[in-house]
C-alpha cells in the first residue's frame, strides 16, 4: 500500500480488497467459471437488445423498458466482472483509490437504475391491466422516453452525490472486507466526521429503494384488485404479463437483502465462500436470469 503524508493526515492511494483468500491452483478454475458467467451475461443481454431493436413488432412499451433493463444489466456486470477476473488471478488484491470510487459509482448507480426501471415497468403493467383501452394513449413514445431518461438521470444524480461525499472523507485504513468496492465499506474506513454521509445515505436509500418499492407495491395492489373483481380471462392475462416482472423484482430484492446483511452485520460464523457468493448475488443473478 502506498501512502502520502500531508499535514499529519493520511491520503490512501491504494485500497486492499480483503475478502479474497488463497485458492492456489483452483484460482484458474474460478477464473474460467466467472469468465463463462460474464460471457453468458453479455451474450444473452446483447442478443435480446438486438432482437428488440431489429424486430419492429417488439417496439412496444414493455419491450422498450426491457431493453433499458438489459442495458443496465450490461452496465452493472461490466462494473464488476473485469476487475473481479483480474483480482482472481492476482496475488496482491489492491485497487487504486480512483478506480475503487469509479466502481462504487457504477455499482450503486446500476442498483438504483434497476429499482427505478422495475418501478416504471410495474406502472406499465398497471396501466395495461387496469386501463387496457387507454393503454396506447397513456404509454406513448414520448412518455416512455421521459420515464426511461428520468430513471437513469435521477439514479446518476443520487449516486454522484453519494460518491462525492465519500471521496472527500479522510480514510484511516485501507482494507475493505469485500471482493469489490462499495460505499458503506469506504465510510467505515473514515476517521473524519461522517454525519453528512449518513444523513444523505438515509435520504438516498429512501429515494432509490423505498420509493420505487412503494410504487411497485401500490401498482400490484391495484392489479390484484382488478384481478379479483374481473373475469377468468383478466386474471390469466394479469398472471401472464406480471409473473416475469414479479420474478425479476423478487430476485433483485433478495440479492440486495443479501448484500445489506453481509455488509452491515457480523457474518464471521458464515463460511467465507458463502459470504462472497451472497455479496455478489445482486450483481450476477439478475443480469443472468432476467433475459
Tell me: pLDDT of 6 over 60.
no
Average pLDDT over the chain reads 87
Tell me: pLDDT of 219 over 70.
yes
Tell me the residue range of the domain where 282 lies: 3-289
Residue pair 74/45 in contact by the 8 Å Cβ criterion: yes
Angle between helices 211-229 and 232-264 (to 10 degrees): 160
The CA-CA-CA angle for residues 50, 53, 57, to 5°, reads: 120
Give the model's pLDDT for residue 11.
Answer: 66
**pLDDT digit string, tens, across residues 230-274:** 677 777 777 777 888 888 899 898 888 888 887 777 777 778 788
DSSP 28-63: HHHHHHHHHHHHHHHHHHHHHHHHHHH-GGG-SHHH
**pLDDT digit string, tens, across residues 92-144:** 888 999 999 999 999 999 999 999 999 999 999 889 888 888 888 889 989 99
Rounded Cα gap, residues 224 and 120, in angstroms: 18
**pLDDT digit string, tens, across residues 166-175:** 998 888 888 8
Q: C-alpha dihedral over 125, 128, 129, 131, to 10 degrees? A: 130
Residue 173 main-chain phi, psi, to 5 deg = -145, 170
Rounded Cα gap, residues 78 and 142, in angstroms: 29
Residue 85 makes CB contacts below 8 A (sequence gap 6+) with: 31, 34, 35, 38
Tell me: pLDDT of 8 over 70.
no
Please state the rounded mean pLDDT for residues 10-26: 79
Measuring CA to CA, which residue among 210, 199, 194, 174 is closest to residue 97? 174
Rounded Cα gap, residues 47 and 169, in angstroms: 42
Tell me: pLDDT of 10 over 80.
no
Count of domains observed in the chain: 1
Please state the rounded mean pLDDT for residues 46-66: 91
Residue 220 makes CB contacts below 8 A (sequence gap 6+) with: 122, 126, 242, 246
Give the model's pLDDT for residue 58.
Answer: 85
Domain containing residue 205: CATH number:
1.20.1070.10
Q: How confident is the model at residue 25 (pLDDT cuts 50, 70, 90)?
A: confident
Identify the bridge partners of residue 251 per DSSP, sorted by sequence position. Answer: none
Please state the rounded mean pLDDT for residues 185-208: 90
Please state the rounded mean pLDDT for residues 71-91: 92
For the chain, the farthest-separated pair of C-alpha atoms sits apart, in whole angstroms, at 73
Amino acid at each position: 500500500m502506498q501512502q502520502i503524508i500531508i499535514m499529519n493526515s493520511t491520503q490512501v492511494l491504494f485500497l486492499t480488497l480483503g475478502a479474497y483468500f488463497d485458492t492456489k491452483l483452483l484460482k484458474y478454475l474460478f477464473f474460467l467459471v466467472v469468465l463463462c458467467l460474464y460471457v453468458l451475461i453479455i451474450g444473452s443481454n446483447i442478443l435480446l437488445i438486438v432482437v428488440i431493436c431489429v424486430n419492429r413488432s417488439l417496439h412496444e412499451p414493455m419491450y422498450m423498458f426491457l431493453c433499458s433493463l438489459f442495458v443496465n444489466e450490461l452496465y452493472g456486470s461490466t462494473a464488476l466482472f473485469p476487475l473481479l477476473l483480474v483480482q482472481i488471478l492476482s496475488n496482491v488484491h489492491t485497487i487504486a483509490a480512483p478506480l475503487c470510487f469509479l466502481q462504487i459509482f457504477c455499482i450503486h448507480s446500476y442498483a438504483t437504475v434497476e429499482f427505478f426501471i422495475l418501478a416504471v415497468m410495474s406502472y406499465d403493467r398497471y396501466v395495461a391491466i387496469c386501463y387496457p383501452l387507454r393503454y396506447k394513449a397513456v404509454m406513448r413514445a414520448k412518455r416512455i422516453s421521459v420515464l426511461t431518461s428520468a430513471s437513469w438521470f435521477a439514479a446518476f444524480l443520487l449516486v454522484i452525490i453519494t460518491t462525492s461525499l465519500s471521496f472527500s472523507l479522510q480514510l484511516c485504513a485501507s482494507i475493505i472486507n469485500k471482493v469489490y468496492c462499495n460505499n458503506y465499506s469506504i465510510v467505515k474506513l473514515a476517521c473524519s466526521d461522517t454525519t453528512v454521509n449518513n444523513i444523505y445515505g438515509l435520504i438516498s436509500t429512501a429515494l432509490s429503494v423505498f420509493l420505487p418499492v412503494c410504487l411497485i407495491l401500490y401498482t400490484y395492489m391495484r392489479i390484484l384488485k382488478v384481478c379479483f373483481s374481473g373475469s377468468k380471462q383478466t386474471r390469466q392475462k394479469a398472471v401472464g404479463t406480471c409473473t416475469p416482472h414479479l420474478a425479476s423484482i423478487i430476485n433483485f430484492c433478495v440479492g440486495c437483502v443479501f448484500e445489506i446483511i453481509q455488509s452491515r452485520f457480523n457474518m464471521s460464523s458464515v463460511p467465507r465462500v458463502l459470504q462472497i457468493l451472497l455479496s455478489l448475488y445482486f450483481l450476477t443473478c439478475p443480469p443472468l436470469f432476467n433475459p
